[in-house]
Amino acid sequence: MSTDVGTGSEFGSITDEIHDNSWSANLEKPMYAEHPELAIQHAIEAIEHTTPGYHVNLVTHAELGHPEEFLWPALEAWDGDVEWEYIDQCGCGGHVTRVYYG
């Protein structure tokens, strides 16, 4: 699965700021269910925008299924210094993966 849906696309970016704290990235919008590769791309962008020593909670759309099926393999293939853990399934059906960077 490709993790690049193009630069400058109509989807924009998950964040434009560097987060000097722990935060959550909302990957539950319908566009992520329609474009799983965008969810992966934005998840990696969210990690890259997290200051080392903090974590980002990646909250993924329910229709994408459990993150071990689509997100974790992409994180393993990515060249970043990350560790992650599964937190829980949200009441809405989405899933939370906490990613520690650096």
Asked whether residue 15 is assigned to any structural domain, the reply reads no
pLDDT of residue 79: 87
Asked whether residue 76 is assigned to any structural domain, the reply reads yes
Asked whether residue 49 is assigned to any structural domain, the reply reads yes
Strand 55-60 relative to strand 82-89: parallel, antiparallel, unpaired? Answer: unpaired
Distance in angstroms (rounded) separating the CA atoms of residues 37 and 17: 22
pLDDT of residue 10: 66
Distance in angstroms (rounded) separating the CA atoms of residues 45 and 14: 7
What are the φ/ψ torsions at residue 22 (nearest 5 degrees)? -80, 145
Asked whether residue 3 is assigned to any structural domain, the reply reads no
Asked whether residue 57 is assigned to any structural domain, the reply reads yes
pTM of the model: 0.87
- Mean pLDDT, contiguous 10-residue spans, the chain (102 residues): 46 89 96 96 96 96 96 94 94 95 86
Asked whether residue 84 is assigned to any structural domain, the reply reads yes
Asked whether residue 12 is assigned to any structural domain, the reply reads no
The structural domain count of the chain equals 1
pLDDT of residue 14: 92
Asked whether residue 14 is assigned to any structural domain, the reply reads no
pLDDT of residue 78: 93
Give the residue numbers spanning the domain of 69. 23-101
Token pair in block for residue 83: 């560790």
